[in-house]
Structure 1
Amino acid sequence: MIAALAILGLLTSCATHRSPTGRDQMLLFSPQEMAQMGDQSFAQIKQKETIATDRTTNAYVRCVADGIITALGDDPAAWEVVVFDSEQVNAFALPGKHIGVYTGLLEVATSQDQLAAVVGHEVAHVLARHSNERVSRSQLSNAGLQIADIFLKGNANRDIYMAGLGLGVQVGITLPYGRTQESEADVMGTELMARAGFNPAEAVTLWHNMGEASTGNAPPQLLSTHPSHSTRIGDLKELQPQVQPLYQRARGQGITPRCKR
Structure 2
Amino acid sequence: MKSCKLLLLSLVASMLMASCGTTSTVPITGRKHSLMVSDAEVLSLSKQEYTKFMKTAKTSTDAVNVAMVKRVGQRLANAVETYLRNNGMASEIQNFAWEFNLVQDKVANAFCMPGGKIVVYEGLLPYTQTEAGLAIVLGHEIAHAVAKHSAEQMSKKMRQQYGTQIGGSVLSAIGLGDVSGIASAVAGQYFSFRNLKYSRDNETEADHMGLIFAAMAGYNPEVAIPFWKRMAQGNGNNNDMFSDHPSDAKRIAALQQQMPEALKYYQASGAAVKATTSGSSTTSKSSKKTSSRKTTVKSKRR
- TM-based fold match above 0.5: yes
Partner of 2:41: 33
Task: Return the letter of the residue paired with 1:260.
Answer: T
More off after superposition, 203-212 vs 140-149: 140-149
TM-score w.r.t. length of structure 2: 0.68
Paired position in structure 2 for 1:189: 210
Amino acid at match of 1:195: M
CA distance in 1, matches of 2:160, 2:149: 16
Amino acid at match of 2:220: N
The residue correspondences of 1:144-183 to structure 2 (distance < 5 A) are 144-149=163-168, 178-183=199-204
Q: Which residue of 2 aligns with 1:246?
A: 265
1:208 — aligned with what? 229
The alpha-carbon distance between structure 1 residues 207 and 6, as it changes in their structure 2 partners (threshold 3 A), is farther
Equivalence for 2:157: 138
Counting aligned pairs with the same residue, the percent is: 31
- Equivalents in 1 of 2:252, 2:10: separation in Å? 37
Give, as a single letter, the amino acid of the residue that structure 2 aligns with 1:99: I
In the other structure, the counterpart of 2:105 is 86
* C-alpha deviation, 1:147, in angstroms: 3.9
| Deviation per residue, 1:93-133 (Å, 9 max, x gap) | 11222111011111211111111000001101111111111
Q: 1:228 to 1:10 in 2, by over 3 A?
A: farther
Q: Structure 2 CA distance, aligned partners of 1:255 and 1:209?
A: 23
Q: Cα distance, 1:45 vs. partner? A: 1.4
Residues 121, 188 of structure 1: 8 Å contact kept: yes
Unaligned runs of 5+ in 1: 152-174
Find 2:60's aligned residue among 52, 64, 68: 52
The CA distance in 2 between the partners of 1:140 and 1:9, in whole Å, is 9
1:109 equivalent to 2:128? Answer yes
The AA in structure 2 aligned to 1:223 is F
Contact 2:132 2:273 in 1 (8 A): no
Residue 78 of structure 1 and its aligned partner are, at CA, apart by 4.4
Distance of 1:224 and 1:12 partners within structure 2: 28
Find out whether 1:129 has 2:148 as its counterpart: yes
Q: Which runs of 5+ in 2 are unaligned?
A: 83-92, 171-195, 276-280, 284-302
Q: For the Cα contact (< 8 Å) 2:97–2:117, is it kept in 1?
A: no
Number of the residue aligned with 2:72 = 64
Q: Tell me how far apart the structure 2 counterparts of residues 213 and 5 of structure 1 sit (CA, whole Å).
A: 46
- The one-letter code matched in structure 2 to 1:242 is E
How many residues end up aligned between the 2 structures?
233
Residues 45-99 of structure 1: per-residue CA shift (max 9 Å, x gap) = 1123222122111011112112211212369x94111111001111111122211
The alpha carbon displacement at 1:9 in A equals: 7.2
C-alpha change, 1:54 and 1:229, in structure 2 (3 Å) is: same
How far, CA to CA, are the matches of 2:198 and 2:220 in structure 1? 28
Amino acid at match of 1:224: S
TM-score, normalised on structure 1?
Answer: 0.78
- Which residue matches 1:167? none
Quick check: 1:198–1:256 contact (8 Å CA) kept in 2? yes
Deviations 1:180-237 (A, max 9, x none): 1111111111011001111101111111011000156x7x413321111000000001
